[in-house]
Protein backbone atom coordinates (compact mmCIF):
# COMPACT_ATOMS: atom_id res chain seq x y z
CA UNK A 1 0.00 0.00 0.00
CA UNK A 2 2.67 2.50 1.00
CA UNK A 3 4.83 1.61 -2.00
CA UNK A 4 2.01 2.65 -4.32
CA UNK A 5 1.73 6.16 -2.83
CA UNK A 6 4.94 7.67 -4.28
CA UNK A 7 4.19 6.09 -7.66
CA UNK A 8 1.11 8.30 -8.04
CA UNK A 9 3.12 11.46 -7.35
CA UNK A 10 5.98 10.24 -9.55
CA UNK A 11 3.57 9.67 -12.43
CA UNK A 12 2.15 13.17 -12.03
CA UNK A 13 5.66 14.65 -12.04
CA UNK A 14 6.83 12.62 -15.04
CA UNK A 15 3.78 13.65 -17.06
CA UNK A 16 4.82 17.27 -16.60
CA UNK A 17 8.57 17.12 -17.17
CA UNK A 18 8.73 14.60 -20.01
CA UNK A 19 7.24 17.20 -22.34
CA UNK A 20 10.48 19.18 -22.12
CA UNK A 21 13.19 16.63 -21.39
CA UNK A 22 13.36 12.82 -21.29
CA UNK A 23 13.30 11.37 -17.80
CA UNK A 24 15.09 8.28 -16.52
CA UNK A 25 11.79 6.44 -16.93
CA UNK A 26 8.74 7.38 -18.94
CA UNK A 27 5.31 7.74 -17.43
CA UNK A 28 4.08 4.85 -19.58
CA UNK A 29 6.78 2.52 -18.25
CA UNK A 30 5.99 3.49 -14.68
CA UNK A 31 3.04 1.11 -14.74
CA UNK A 32 5.43 -1.83 -14.44
CA UNK A 33 6.60 -0.58 -11.05
CA UNK A 34 3.04 -0.87 -9.78
CA UNK A 35 3.64 -4.62 -9.65
CA UNK A 36 5.99 -4.12 -6.69
CA UNK A 37 3.24 -3.30 -4.13
CA UNK A 38 1.24 -6.31 -5.29
CA UNK A 39 4.31 -8.55 -4.99
CA UNK A 40 4.92 -7.33 -1.45
CA UNK A 41 1.27 -7.89 -0.58
CA UNK A 42 1.41 -11.45 -1.92
CA UNK A 43 4.63 -12.07 0.03
CA UNK A 44 3.02 -10.79 3.21
CA UNK A 45 -0.09 -12.93 2.71
CA UNK A 46 1.89 -16.09 1.96
CA UNK A 47 4.16 -15.46 4.94
CA UNK A 48 1.17 -15.15 7.22
CA UNK A 49 -0.59 -18.20 5.78
CA UNK A 50 2.46 -20.45 6.19
CA UNK A 51 2.76 -19.58 9.86
CA UNK A 52 -0.79 -20.21 11.02
CA UNK A 53 -1.10 -22.15 14.25
CA UNK A 54 -3.62 -24.85 15.05
CA UNK A 55 -6.85 -23.71 16.63
CA UNK A 56 -6.29 -26.03 19.61
CA UNK A 57 -2.97 -24.39 20.46
CA UNK A 58 -4.43 -20.91 20.05
CA UNK A 59 -7.42 -21.75 22.21
CA UNK A 60 -5.15 -22.97 25.01
CA UNK A 61 -2.97 -19.88 24.78
CA UNK A 62 -5.94 -17.53 24.88
CA UNK A 63 -7.46 -19.35 27.84
CA UNK A 64 -4.19 -19.18 29.77
CA UNK A 65 -3.62 -15.47 29.14
CA UNK A 66 -7.21 -14.23 28.89
CA UNK A 67 -9.44 -16.51 30.97
CA UNK A 68 -12.29 -14.01 30.78
CA UNK A 69 -12.73 -14.60 27.03
CA UNK A 70 -15.63 -16.85 26.05
CA UNK A 71 -14.42 -18.98 23.13
CA UNK A 72 -17.17 -21.56 23.05
CA UNK A 73 -18.71 -20.38 19.76
CA UNK A 74 -15.70 -18.77 18.07
CA UNK A 75 -13.24 -19.98 15.46
CA UNK A 76 -9.65 -19.01 16.18
CA UNK A 77 -7.16 -18.30 13.43
CA UNK A 78 -3.78 -16.75 13.99
CA UNK A 79 -0.13 -17.36 14.66
CA UNK A 80 2.45 -17.39 17.40
CA UNK A 81 5.24 -14.94 16.67
CA UNK A 82 7.63 -16.80 18.95
CA UNK A 83 7.24 -20.04 17.00
CA UNK A 84 7.14 -18.40 13.57
CA UNK A 85 9.47 -15.37 13.53
CA UNK A 86 8.97 -14.90 9.79
CA UNK A 87 5.48 -13.70 10.64
CA UNK A 88 7.03 -10.35 11.46
CA UNK A 89 7.30 -9.85 7.70
CA UNK A 90 3.53 -9.80 7.43
CA UNK A 91 3.32 -7.29 10.28
CA UNK A 92 6.22 -5.06 9.29
CA UNK A 93 5.44 -4.68 5.59
CA UNK A 94 2.35 -2.51 6.25
CA UNK A 95 4.32 -0.22 8.58
CA UNK A 96 8.09 -0.19 7.93
CA UNK A 97 7.89 1.19 4.33
CA UNK A 98 5.99 4.21 5.58
CA UNK A 99 9.14 6.26 6.22
CA UNK A 100 10.97 5.89 2.87
CA UNK A 101 7.75 6.04 0.87
CA UNK A 102 6.58 9.21 2.59
CA UNK A 103 9.99 10.75 1.98
CA UNK A 104 9.69 9.96 -1.73
CA UNK A 105 6.11 11.18 -1.74
CA UNK A 106 7.05 14.55 -0.25
CA UNK A 107 9.95 14.87 -2.68
CA UNK A 108 7.85 14.21 -5.79
CA UNK A 109 5.07 16.41 -4.46
CA UNK A 110 7.41 19.34 -3.82
CA UNK A 111 9.04 18.93 -7.25
CA UNK A 112 5.63 18.84 -8.93
CA UNK A 113 4.43 21.97 -7.14
CA UNK A 114 7.71 23.73 -7.93
CA UNK A 115 7.33 22.84 -11.60
CA UNK A 116 3.76 24.15 -11.68
CA UNK A 117 4.78 27.39 -9.98
CA UNK A 118 7.65 27.94 -12.42
CA UNK A 119 5.44 27.31 -15.47
CA UNK A 120 2.44 29.43 -14.56
CA UNK A 121 2.95 31.64 -17.58
CA UNK A 122 2.93 28.75 -20.05
CA UNK A 123 -0.07 26.87 -18.64
CA UNK A 124 -3.70 27.81 -18.74
CA UNK A 125 -5.47 28.53 -15.45
CA UNK A 126 -7.70 25.51 -16.00
CA UNK A 127 -4.69 23.20 -16.39
CA UNK A 128 -3.03 24.58 -13.27
CA UNK A 129 -6.26 24.23 -11.33
CA UNK A 130 -6.68 20.62 -12.44
CA UNK A 131 -3.12 19.70 -11.47
CA UNK A 132 -3.44 21.29 -8.04
CA UNK A 133 -6.73 19.49 -7.43
CA UNK A 134 -5.12 16.17 -8.31
CA UNK A 135 -2.21 16.92 -5.97
CA UNK A 136 -4.66 17.65 -3.15
CA UNK A 137 -6.51 14.40 -3.77
CA UNK A 138 -3.28 12.40 -3.80
CA UNK A 139 -2.09 14.15 -0.63
CA UNK A 140 -5.24 13.20 1.26
CA UNK A 141 -5.09 9.63 -0.02
CA UNK A 142 -1.45 9.36 1.05
CA UNK A 143 -2.32 10.43 4.61
CA UNK A 144 -5.12 7.90 5.07
CA UNK A 145 -2.82 4.89 5.68
CA UNK A 146 -0.94 6.83 8.34
CA UNK A 147 -4.07 7.53 10.39
CA UNK A 148 -5.96 4.32 9.69
CA UNK A 149 -3.13 1.77 9.50
CA UNK A 150 0.14 2.92 11.04
CA UNK A 151 -1.38 4.28 14.24
CA UNK A 152 -3.77 1.31 14.81
CA UNK A 153 -1.00 -1.23 14.10
CA UNK A 154 1.34 0.46 16.58
CA UNK A 155 -1.42 0.54 19.18
CA UNK A 156 -1.98 -3.16 18.53
CA UNK A 157 1.74 -3.84 19.07
CA UNK A 158 1.62 -2.02 22.41
CA UNK A 159 -1.40 -4.06 23.50
CA UNK A 160 0.24 -7.29 22.36
CA UNK A 161 3.57 -6.47 24.05
CA UNK A 162 2.02 -5.64 27.42
CA UNK A 163 -0.59 -8.43 27.11
CA UNK A 164 -3.52 -6.10 27.60
CA UNK A 165 -6.95 -7.51 26.93
CA UNK A 166 -8.82 -4.78 25.04
CA UNK A 167 -11.06 -6.47 22.44
CA UNK A 168 -12.40 -3.17 21.11
CA UNK A 169 -8.95 -2.00 20.07
CA UNK A 170 -8.07 -5.40 18.64
CA UNK A 171 -11.16 -5.51 16.44
CA UNK A 172 -10.88 -1.85 15.42
CA UNK A 173 -7.61 -2.64 13.63
CA UNK A 174 -9.46 -4.56 10.93
CA UNK A 175 -12.10 -1.85 10.64
CA UNK A 176 -9.48 0.89 10.23
CA UNK A 177 -7.60 -1.11 7.60
CA UNK A 178 -10.75 -1.73 5.58
CA UNK A 179 -12.06 1.84 5.73
CA UNK A 180 -9.10 3.13 3.69
CA UNK A 181 -10.54 1.59 0.54
CA UNK A 182 -13.83 3.34 1.29
CA UNK A 183 -12.35 6.80 1.83
CA UNK A 184 -10.00 6.77 -1.17
CA UNK A 185 -12.72 7.03 -3.85
CA UNK A 186 -14.51 9.71 -1.81
CA UNK A 187 -11.42 11.91 -2.04
CA UNK A 188 -11.20 11.17 -5.75
CA UNK A 189 -14.82 12.11 -6.41
CA UNK A 190 -14.50 15.27 -4.33
CA UNK A 191 -11.41 16.71 -6.02
CA UNK A 192 -11.60 15.41 -9.60
CA UNK A 193 -14.19 17.39 -11.57
CA UNK A 194 -14.86 14.81 -14.35
CA UNK A 195 -15.70 12.22 -11.71
CA UNK A 196 -17.96 14.73 -9.99
CA UNK A 197 -19.79 15.47 -13.23
CA UNK A 198 -20.22 11.78 -14.03
CA UNK A 199 -21.57 11.13 -10.53
CA UNK A 200 -23.95 14.10 -10.71
CA UNK A 201 -25.20 13.03 -14.14
CA UNK A 202 -25.85 9.48 -12.98
CA UNK A 203 -27.54 10.68 -9.80
CA UNK A 204 -29.75 13.20 -11.61
CA UNK A 205 -30.76 10.62 -14.19
CA UNK A 206 -31.70 8.14 -11.47
CA UNK A 207 -33.65 10.75 -9.50
CA UNK A 208 -35.48 12.04 -12.56
CA UNK A 209 -36.44 8.51 -13.54
CA UNK A 210 -37.72 7.83 -10.03
CA UNK A 211 -39.67 11.07 -9.92
CA UNK A 212 -41.21 10.36 -13.30
CA UNK A 213 -42.77 7.21 -11.81
CA UNK A 214 -44.58 9.10 -9.03
CA UNK A 215 -48.24 9.42 -9.94
CA UNK A 216 -50.10 12.68 -9.18
CA UNK A 217 -53.33 12.37 -7.23
CA UNK A 218 -55.50 13.39 -10.19
CA UNK A 219 -54.17 10.68 -12.54
CA UNK A 220 -56.39 7.63 -12.89
CA UNK A 221 -55.07 4.10 -12.55
CA UNK A 222 -55.43 3.45 -16.28
CA UNK A 223 -53.56 6.62 -17.17
CA UNK A 224 -50.91 5.83 -14.57
CA UNK A 225 -50.37 2.35 -16.03
CA UNK A 226 -49.97 3.92 -19.44
CA UNK A 227 -47.44 6.43 -18.10
CA UNK A 228 -45.50 3.69 -16.33
CA UNK A 229 -45.33 1.66 -19.51
CA UNK A 230 -44.04 4.65 -21.46
CA UNK A 231 -41.45 5.39 -18.76
CA UNK A 232 -40.19 1.82 -18.82
CA UNK A 233 -39.92 1.81 -22.60
CA UNK A 234 -38.19 5.19 -22.62
CA UNK A 235 -34.55 4.70 -23.76
- Mean pLDDT over residues 39-51, rounded? 75
- Mean pLDDT over residues 41-49, rounded? 75
pTM reported for the whole predicted model: 0.65
Distance in angstroms (rounded) separating the CA atoms of residues 56 and 59: 5
In tens, the pLDDT along 98-124 reads 778 888 888 889 999 999 999 888 888
Residue 17: predicted pLDDT: 84
Query: Distance from first CA to last CA of the chain, Å, rounded?
Result: 42
- Mean pLDDT over residues 133-152, rounded? 86
- Mean pLDDT over residues 186-196, rounded? 85
User: Pick from 115, 177, 99, 170: which is nearest to 145 by CA?
Assistant: 177
Amino acid sequence: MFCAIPLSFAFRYLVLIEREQPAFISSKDLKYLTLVPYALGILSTVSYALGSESSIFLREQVRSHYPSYNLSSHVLFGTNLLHFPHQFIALFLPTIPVFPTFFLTLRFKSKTIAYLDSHKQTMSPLTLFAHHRIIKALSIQSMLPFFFLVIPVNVFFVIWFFKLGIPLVEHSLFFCASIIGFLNPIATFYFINPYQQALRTTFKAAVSRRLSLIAPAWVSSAQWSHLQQNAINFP
